[in-house]
Amino acid sequence: SFDPRHFDDPEIFDIGRDENPHLAFSYGAHYCVGMALARLELKVVFGSIFERFPALRLAVAPEELKLRKEIITGGFEE
């Protein structure tokens, strides 16, 4: 979901985006049947983490985070 050609705000983490043709859960007739459960689990996990640790903050400023450019192994460089 980090492709500005497909999303107005790709830098915003939003697991609830609809009509999302990225490869994480596939798309169309071959979509992942576990997609709804995975999204629900992410909401619960992140909600619980921030509820349990309200002072949790990034160790660096968000603009210092560098994302990988690879499709398969996306994520942060460090």
- The model's pLDDT over 25-76, given as tens digits with 9 standing for 90+, comes to 776 777 788 888 998 999 999 999 999 999 999 899 988 988 887 766 677 8
**pTM given for the model:** 0.47
Cα(78)–Cα(67) distance, rounded to whole angstroms?
Answer: 9
Amino acid identity of 38? Answer: A
Please name which of 61, 62, 46, 54 lies closest in space to residue 12, comparing C-alpha atoms: 62
- The model's pLDDT over 53-67, given as tens digits with 9 standing for 90+, comes to 999 998 999 889 888
| Structural domain that includes position 48 | 1-78
Number of domains, the chain: 1
Cα(64)–Cα(14) distance, rounded to whole angstroms?
Answer: 20
**Structure token digits, residue 23:** 């490869």
